[in-house]
Amino acid sequence: MLTGVAPERIQRLYGGDLSEVLLLHRDGGQAVVAKGGPAAGTEAQMLRELAAAGVPVPAVEAEYGDVLLIEYVDADEAFTPRAWADIGARTRALHNHLGESYGWPVDYAFGSVRLDNNPVEDWPRFWGEQRLVETAALLDRPWRERVERLAARITDLLPARPPASLLHGDLWAGNMLVRDGRLAAFIDPACYHGHAEVDLAMICLFGRPDPAFWEAYGDLEPGWGERRALYQLFPALVHLRLFGVSYASLVDRLLTAAGA
C-alpha cells in the first residue's frame, strides 16, 4: 500500500479544487494529508514557492506520481483580530515576492474550468483574455457577450504593468488555517504571478476581513475600490461554471459594477 495506512484509518476531507483530499491517520497518532489527481505535482511546486516567499504552508512530505503527501496542520478556526493581522502581514510578504511576467509555468484547472497560465507581459491582456473571456467561453451567450464587451475595454480599467506579485490564487477564509491567534498555513493554492489586488478582491468576495488585516497589509493602490469588482468577477464566473445558476446574481452584480 502506497501510504502504509489501512483503509479504515483514511478519512475524506472537504476542499481541494486541484486534487482529491484524504486525511491518513498513521500508527502512533501522526496524521498526514494525501492529495490525488493530475495536478498533485503542480500543487507541490506551488507550496514550495509559497514557503520560499516566507508564507506558512503545509510541508511537502513526498510525491508519488499523482499523489501528494503533505503535513497535516491543526487549526482552531478562531479568526481573531490578532489572527487577521498576521494574515495581513503574511499576505503582504507573499505579494512582495515578484516574478518577471504574469502567469505560471503550467496550466491547471479549478475542477472542469481549465486555466490558461501562459506567461505574458501585458496584465490587462492576461486578465481580460486568459481569465475572464476564457472562463466565460462555455457560458450562455448573454454572459459571454457581456464579458467580451468588458474585456474589449479592459486596458482602460486596469494598470498595464503592475508588479507581478506571487498570488495564492484562491485566497478566501476557507483556505486559511489559523491557530492561537496566528496564521498556521495557507492551503489549496492556485498560484500565478499577477496584480496583488486579485488576492485582496478574493478575500473580500465571500467575507469581510477584520480591519486589523488591512492595517497589517499596508497601503493600497489608488483606484483599488473601482477595480475590485473586475477582479472578483473571475472567481464568480468559475463558481457559475462549476455550481450553476445560484451564482448568476453574483456574476450579474459584478458585471454591472464593472460597467458591463
Structural element, H or E, at residue 257: helix 248-258
CA dist., res. 169 & res. 159, Å (int): 19
Options 3.40.50.300, 3.90.1200.10, 3.40.50.1820, 3.40.50.150; CATH for 81-258 is 3.90.1200.10
Which of 67-71, 143-147, 180-184, 251-255 comes out lowest in average pLDDT? 67-71
Angle, CA of 92, 96 and 62, to the nearest 5°: 90
Amino acid at 57: V
Nearby residues of 149 by Cβ (< 8 Å), 6 or more positions away: 260
pLDDT, tens digit, for every residue of 118-154? Answer: 999 999 999 999 999 999 999 999 999 999 999 999 9
CATH of domain 7-71: 3.30.200.20
State yes or no: pLDDT of 4 exceeds 70. no
**3-class secondary structure, 67:** strand
Residues of the chain with CATH 3.30.200.20: 7-71
Residue 46's beta-bridge partner residues? none
Residues of the chain with CATH 3.90.1200.10: 81-258
Closest C-alpha to 17, from 191, 166, 167: 191
pLDDT, tens digit, for every residue of 200-241? Answer: 999 999 999 999 999 999 999 999 999 999 999 999 999 999
CA dist., res. 67 & res. 38, Å (int): 8
Predicted TM-score (pTM) of this structure:
0.91
Is residue 58 a contact partner of residue 185, using CB atoms and an 8 Å limit? Answer: yes
Is residue 34 a contact partner of residue 68, using CB atoms and an 8 Å limit? Answer: yes
